[in-house]
Amino acid sequence: MTQLDDLIQSGSRIECHGPWPRVVVDRPAWEAAGAALAAGELTLLGLWGETETVHMAVGETGRLAVLSLPCPDRRYPSIGRAHPPALRLERAARDLYGLVPEGSPDTRPWLIHADPYPFLEAEGPGLHQIAVGPVHAGIIEPGHFRFAANGETIVRLEARLGYTHKGVEALMAGATVEAAAQIAGRVSGDSTVAYAWAFVQAVETALGLKSPPRAIQLRALMAELERLANHLNDIGFVCNDAAFGLLHAHFAALREGVLRAADTAFGHRLMRDLIVPGGVSKDLAAPGKEAIAAAVAAIRRQWPLLVEIYDDTASLQDRTVGTGIVKTGLARQDGAGGYVGRAAGRNFDARAAFPYAPYDKLRFDVPVREEGDVDARVRIRIAEAEQSLSLIDQLLAGLPDGPLYAPLPAANGPAEGMALVEAFRGDVLAWVRLNADGTVARCHLRDASWFQWPLVEAAIEGNIVADFPLCNKSFNCAYSGVDL
């Protein structure tokens, strides 16, 4: 019996929840789960609230469960008290649903801004503060970074986010699943495919619907194009932040090729609003197939040379190697996904760890490295882009015929579903409860960056201020995705 089994058996199972179990637990079980998280026996996959309940998704290798603790008095034992990765999720749940985590060491609001915001203190001779943001010099999302530095060396960094808080969860409540899918696709625009997919997969699981094989295959094709475009973008931008514009220009051109192919294939450069509950809204025709194949071929032609330049340019390596190191232990404890976790020895990719169709039938590797520095995060992206190229080949070659869409059945009583989909940045967790009329009662979308942002803060300690943009770019954490 594993820790997870004990927890599942200690609670009462919610039958309408799938594909993983959800159990209502009591306080002692909730606290035991917190202790197991702190001890590293379980990994935190999410924590979210609703009016009188707090939920937490926890996992072991290949398995996960949702634990729900009723809290009619709107108080629950803090998980973050012993397991810091939960802290910001608890602060968000407090802001959105008024649920108070008892014993939490951090009672500051997170998504709801009320100035002045007390930053954590760093004291010592010669320390000074540098405040950056929310408006930045470049074309990037808003966030505030507070550095405590000693000369050039960063002693502490604290990020303050929430600037793009749009009230996503409140907007989704009561919306039709079609409208909610559009909102899900706008939680983090660079991951519009992954978010829409996670959301509709949760809805389809709740309703017991399997969308047609062709639709599933096209979803994966879009997801891999999205991953490829974003990785190309990120590799280029990291090089740019290391003052190596040549590679930036080349990777940006390759990325543009992917977006144009997506436009030809699906009518939208970022493939937005194409994944709908029940299937996909657009088919792939011959010109689209050709455009994608041409973009893939163009990347393959240039790839060896570009990777070689990345490898051989000493001035670039000088900036990326050994900069912003995430320690493996921290990545594990934190449950960090995406290239951030995989560059620091944590082998987790939702496509492999919790395989969903069509990835259960596709061949791909999950690259993992141990170094945890900027260079490792770039190299993981390079390796993953190569995997995406191969996946795109497989998806195009094996595209089944058939319908694109299956009509949604009626809810017939309570229905809850969940999904874990690998976006380019890491796993997106979607949890949804449907009303009897088929509308959304409650939806929570958890971005991978909830567990990546704290690592930015940890990794930058002891680095110089001038390396922060480079380091931050190598994480490329979501802002809108976590601000909800």
Partner 1 sequence: MRRLLLDGLLHRPLTEPPPVPDDAALAELTQALARAARRRLGRSLSLRLVDAGSCNACELELNALGNPYYDLDRFGIRFVASPRHADMLLVTGPVTRNMAEALRRTYDAMPAPKWVVAVGGCAIDGGCFARSPAVLGGVHQALPVDLTIPGCPPSPTALLRGLLALLEQADAGKMEKT
Smaller CB distance to ligand SF4: residue 166 or 369? Answer: 166
- Looking at residue 68, what DSSP letter applies? E
When asked if residue 268 is in the footprint of ligand SF4 (CB under 6 A), the reply is no
Q: Name residue 397's beta-bridge partners.
A: none
Please report how close the Cβ of residue 18 comes to partner 1 at its closest, in angstroms.
Answer: 28
Question: Which backbone phi and psi does 367 adopt, to 5 degrees?
Answer: -70, 140
Residue 167 touches which member of ligand SF4, partner 1, none, C-beta under 5-8 Å by kind: partner 1
Q: Exposed/middle/buried for 305, CB within 10 Å: 0-12, 13-18, 19+?
A: exposed
Residues that bind partner 1 (CB under 8 A): 113, 134-135, 137-142, 162-168, 170-171, 179, 182-183, 186-190, 192, 233, 246, 249-250, 252-253, 255-256, 259, 263, 269-270, 272, 305-306, 309, 312-313, 478-480, 483
How far apart are alpha carbons 381 and 422 in whole angstroms?
A: 14
Residue 142 touches which member of partner 1, ligand SF4, none, C-beta under 5-8 Å by kind: partner 1
Residue 162 touches which member of ligand SF4, partner 1, none, C-beta under 5-8 Å by kind: partner 1
Task: Count the site residues for ligand SF4 by CB under 6 A.
Answer: 2
Smaller CB distance to ligand SF4: residue 186 or 260? Answer: 186
Smaller CB distance to partner 1: residue 166 or 327? Answer: 166
Residue 238 touches which member of ligand SF4, partner 1, none, C-beta under 5-8 Å by kind: none
Smaller CB distance to ligand SF4: residue 90 or 141? Answer: 141
Smaller CB distance to partner 1: residue 4 or 306? Answer: 306
Tokens representing residue 80 in the block: 């973050």
Please report how close the Cβ of residue 480 comes to ligand SF4 at its closest, in angstroms.
Answer: 8
Please report how close the Cβ of residue 138 comes to ligand SF4 at its closest, in angstroms.
Answer: 17
Smaller CB distance to ligand SF4: residue 156 or 186? Answer: 186
Smaller CB distance to ligand SF4: residue 142 or 189? Answer: 189
Amino acid making up residue 102: E
Please report how close the Cβ of residue 74 comes to partner 1 at its closest, in angstroms.
Answer: 21
- Strands 415-423 and 279-280, how do they pair? unpaired
When asked if residue 327 is in the footprint of ligand SF4 (CB under 6 A), the reply is no
Smaller CB distance to ligand SF4: residue 160 or 186? Answer: 186
Query: Please, what sign has the CA dihedral across residues 260, 265, 268, 272?
Result: negative
Q: Name residue 76's beta-bridge partners.
A: 101
Please report how close the Cβ of residue 143 comes to ligand SF4 at its closest, in angstroms.
Answer: 16
Residue 53 touches which member of ligand SF4, partner 1, none, C-beta under 5-8 Å by kind: none
Please report how close the Cβ of residue 19 comes to partner 1 at its closest, in angstroms.
Answer: 28
Query: Is residue 195 within 8 Å of 273, Cβ to Cβ?
Result: no
Q: Find the radius of gyration of the CA atoms of the chain.
A: 22
How far apart are alpha carbons 274 and 180 in whole angstroms?
A: 13
- Looking at residue 405, what DSSP letter applies? B
Count the neighbouring beta carbons within 10 Å of the beta carbon of residue 40.
11
In this structure, the dihedral spanned by the alpha carbons of residues 253, 254, 256 and 257, taken in order and rounded to 10 degrees, is: 120
Tokens representing residue 118 in the block: 């007390």
How far apart are alpha carbons 65 and 11 in whole angstroms?
A: 11
In this structure, the dihedral spanned by the alpha carbons of residues 75, 81, 87 and 89, taken in order and rounded to 10 degrees, is: -40
When asked if residue 186 is in the footprint of ligand SF4 (CB under 6 A), the reply is yes
18, 189, 267, 414: which one binds ligand SF4 (CB under 6 A):
189
Amino acid making up residue 171: L
Question: Residue numbers of the site for ligand SF4 (CB under 6 A)?
Answer: 186, 189
